[in-house]
Structure 1
Amino acid sequence: MTANAAALTDRRLTIAAVRPVLLSAVYPPGAELTWVGGVIRSWDAALVEVTLTDGSTGLGEVGAGIMATPAVPGILDALRPYIEGQRFPDPLLVGDHLRARTAFWARGGIASGTIGAIEAACLDAVGNRLGLPAYELLGGQRQDRIEVYASGGLGTTFEQVADWALEQVRRGLRTVKFRAMRDPDTTIELMRHVVPRLPAGTRFVLDAVQGCAAEPWSIPDAIRVGAVCAELDARWYEEPCHAEDVAGYAEVRRALDVPVSGVESHGTVHDYETLIGAGGVDIVQPDVSFVGGPSAFARVADLAASHGLACVPHVWGSGVTLMANLHVCASHPKVRLFEYCTLDNPLRDALIIAPPQLIDGHLLVPAAPGFGVRLAEDVERRFPFQPGNGHVIGPAQELAG
């Protein structure tokens, strides 16, 4: 191998510095995202920027940063002694390195998301240095496009949700996912209103949003809603139980003739091992920015495949989350469907070099180096972080109105 060829395959890296990048895209008055969980006045993002000793830089994102952005700098400071100045033979070893040294306090949750963001940023940086798209460093490109489903449907009225769903169908998307209302009965009414209005051949998904609900539905109610999903031929029924209610997932799945999915906020591979082992889901929904990075995501996808289950990623963040998940999925032979949030998000567009094209219900995977993202000079000035406006679940008295 020539010296030039060796340089193009050298995945080694030494981390010179890491820093948090907190951003907010504030919606103008009247353009806020309103749903039954409250009002989202800005789309926030907690990014991690890694700089290598050779000057290469890369970006990762902490998924939980949409709700807990201010927590990330402190966690990153606690992780800093384990990574700055450290040499690694491969960026995909960074997450395991950190997990092995922080098991006392960083198992799961936003700490795992921060670890994953560091690993993702290292992968992006090495891809940028080598001039290779990240999927090439993840085993090679297995697909150049992936089917997507429309994710959004936040409205507070039946008509708002139906209008949103029909707009996605007009855009060429064949599956639409909308969110449940506050209670099971209203949610059933919502489905009976929206689904008959969908054009023939359009599939739907109901996201029950019980994984993070303060007062999740009872198991009988979750089953009752799921029975209507089955009756109306839902593609799947998402998060019908609280994220930690493994027994509840298993009971709901046994009772229903519709695929059950979860849990997007799980922060470790072990969480998915437990859920799968209990027979809780037909579809797993890891997210690179939650589960611990690209290496952890691939393990979950492999685990699902070994049990005959589908893996459909959760993708809900800035352009960094979108592209990190897209590259991981492009490199995995068993991931065939991708969540595509259609809500207005300026931080999606501002951070992607060449946004992936949406053609005939599929996203085309760009071939830019790394994840194809960048932190342009003016981004931090245009989107300064403003606390208190992001994905904040409204107080009980507000939601009762």
Structure 2
Amino acid sequence: MAVSTKGGIIVEVRTSDGLVGIGEAGFSAEYFPTVGPLINGQLGPMVIGRDPRDIGALWHDMMRATHMWGRRGVETYALSGMDIALWDLMGKTAEQPVHRLLGTSQHSVRAYYAPSLKPADKAVTEAQEAVAAGYTAIKLRVDGDLSAAVHLVQSVRSAVGAGVDLMVDANMAYHRRGALTLARELHDLQVAWLEEPIMSHSLSQYVSSHSWLADRVDIPLAGGESLLTRFEYIDLMAKLPFDIVQPDAASVGGISELKRIADMASSWNLQCVPHIGCSSGTGIGINAALQVILSCDNAPLIEFDAYGGLGWQGFLAVPPVVKDGRVWASEEPGIGVTIADGAEQRFRIQTRAVQ
């Protein structure tokens, strides 16, 4: 999957005494025309006058408000943004980072470099640059061309050596027989995981097809980035098609739901490596996921956007940083983000009339 546009839907929850909680809703600003009105017109008014520290009650009230007409779509994106903002506000109220409120389990986490789909020669160059920058893990994107996918991974493996972990994301590009062939080829190349290789149009097909594959290969499988709320993870975990689950804080239901799913995964002896939408780039989603990762003993990696984005270009006062291949805990209150002076206006989406 190639990424050419970055953006994000930013949520702010303000208290009467002037504190501001910041969240991000969904993977991309492309959802603004639908998510924005949900936040401003329905979910936002529901929390006015409420105690922002009652995050559990607010989450369930917002969930119930959309239960009958959209509990598995952009409504959950809106809920996610609200929940992240409320947790940021909670941390600022308590003058503690959110990972402390959740219960810190680790103080840093290894980052993996996540570039977009590109030809093998360019992938090799980017991988070498990532290793030189201190990364010890890289996730490669491949498409449905089996021979090209294997060639790309072979090329990068030869360039970076055996000491760098490589993961492969196929973005559902294969039917199951092709995915089986791909998985066996990648196992021989010491790939750490294969992510969502099989095209699926329903949750039952998604679980069934990847379970079929898991029974036939030794390479670990990863998935779950597009599932919403813990309820869609029930069958996923019970059938164990994946060794690594990848919920996204900005879409799955916020920090609250990401933490619940991570703990569910721990009970099944699964790893949780949250998906972080590379099409966003605000830096808010990374910081939200980081708070949960730091509170978990089954979250060994954090996805890090290869190309930065708004957060790196002046939207955030202090952008996310990888140092020596790791992202470190901050003691800043909340989720640790501050929007730079004037950045909201400078980066605001300008509505254009359709010609």
- TM-score by structure 2 length? 0.90
* Alpha carbons of structure 1 residues 297 and 78: separation in structure 2 relative to 1, 3 Å: same
In structure 1, stretches of 5+ residues that fail to align are: 1-36, 211-215, 389-401
1:384 matches 2:352: no
C-alpha distance in 2, partners of 1:327/1:222? Answer: 34
Instruction: Give the conservation status (yes or no) of the 8 Å contact 1:92–1:294.
Output: no
* 1:61-140 map, 5 Å: 61-76=24-39, 77-87=41-51, 89-138=53-102, 140=103
* 1:48-67 map, 5 Å: 48-67=11-30
* Alpha carbons of structure 1 residues 259 and 39: separation in structure 2 relative to 1, 3 Å: closer
Q: Which aligned runs of 4 or more in structure 1 are off by greater than 6 angstroms?
A: none
1:221 matches 2:167: no
Report deviation, 1:83: 2.1
1:45 matches 2:8: yes
1:255 matches 2:216: yes
Amino acid corresponding to residue 18 of structure 2 in structure 1: G
Aligned-residue CA RMSD (Å): 2.0
C-alpha distance in 1, partners of 2:182/2:351? Answer: 36
User: Percentage identity across aligned positions?
Assistant: 28
Question: Which residue is 1:367 aligned to?
Answer: 331
Report deviation, 1:38: 5.4
Instruction: Give the conservation status (yes or no) of the 8 Å contact 2:283–2:320.
Output: no
C-alpha distance in 2, partners of 1:264/1:335? Answer: 15
Report deviation, 1:56: 1.2
* 1:334-349 map, 5 Å: 334-348=298-312
C-alpha distance in 1, partners of 2:239/2:351? Answer: 39
Report deviation, 1:357: 4.2
Instruction: Give the conservation status (yes or no) of the 8 Å contact 1:110–1:267.
Output: no
Where 1:335 maps in the other structure, the secondary structure is coil
Q: 1:205 aligns with which of 167, 170, 176?
A: 167
Instruction: Give the conservation status (yes or no) of the 8 Å contact 2:2–2:117.
Output: no
* Alpha carbons of structure 1 residues 387 and 250: separation in structure 2 relative to 1, 3 Å: farther
Higher mean displacement: 342-351 or 254-263: 342-351
* Alpha carbons of structure 1 residues 374 and 106: separation in structure 2 relative to 1, 3 Å: farther
Report deviation, 1:108: 2.1
* 1:310-349 map, 5 Å: 310-316=271-277, 317=280, 318-348=282-312
* 1:24-43 map, 5 Å: 37=1, 40=4, 42-43=5-6
Amino acid corresponding to residue 258 of structure 1 in structure 2: I
Report deviation, 1:116: 1.4
1:196 matches 2:158: yes
1:278 matches 2:242: no
1:292 matches 2:256: no
* Alpha carbons of structure 1 residues 198 and 227: separation in structure 2 relative to 1, 3 Å: same
Report deviation, 1:334: 2.4
* Alpha carbons of structure 1 residues 279 and 104: separation in structure 2 relative to 1, 3 Å: same
* Alpha carbons of structure 1 residues 167 and 93: separation in structure 2 relative to 1, 3 Å: farther
* Alpha carbons of structure 1 residues 182 and 386: separation in structure 2 relative to 1, 3 Å: farther
1:301 matches 2:262: yes
* Alpha carbons of structure 1 residues 347 and 359: separation in structure 2 relative to 1, 3 Å: closer
Amino acid corresponding to residue 222 of structure 1 in structure 2: A
Instruction: Give the conservation status (yes or no) of the 8 Å contact 1:99–1:106.
Output: no
The C-alpha deviation readout for 1:84-139, integer Å capped at 9, x for no partner, is 2233553344322211332112312321121011011011112223322122222x
Instruction: Give the conservation status (yes or no) of the 8 Å contact 1:56–1:126.
Output: no
Instruction: Give the conservation status (yes or no) of the 8 Å contact 1:195–1:232.
Output: yes
C-alpha distance in 1, partners of 2:93/2:248? Answer: 25
Question: Which residue is 1:4 aligned to?
Answer: none
* Alpha carbons of structure 1 residues 115 and 348: separation in structure 2 relative to 1, 3 Å: farther
Instruction: Give the conservation status (yes or no) of the 8 Å contact 1:354–1:366.
Output: no
Amino acid corresponding to residue 183 of structure 2 in structure 1: G
* Alpha carbons of structure 1 residues 167 and 329: separation in structure 2 relative to 1, 3 Å: same
Instruction: Give the conservation status (yes or no) of the 8 Å contact 2:315–2:344.
Output: no
In structure 2, stretches of 5+ residues that fail to align are: none
Instruction: Give the conservation status (yes or no) of the 8 Å contact 2:272–2:299.
Output: yes
The C-alpha deviation readout for 1:15-35, integer Å capped at 9, x for no partner, is xxxxxxxxxxxxxxxxxxxxx
Question: Which residue is 1:25 aligned to?
Answer: none
Question: Which residue is 1:213 aligned to?
Answer: none
Question: Which residue is 1:148 aligned to?
Answer: 111
C-alpha distance in 2, partners of 1:72/1:301? Answer: 25
* Alpha carbons of structure 1 residues 92 and 324: separation in structure 2 relative to 1, 3 Å: farther
Where 1:70 maps in the other structure, the secondary structure is helix
- TM-score by structure 1 length? 0.80
**Greater share of strand:** 1
Question: Which residue is 1:18 aligned to?
Answer: none
Report deviation, 1:57: 0.7
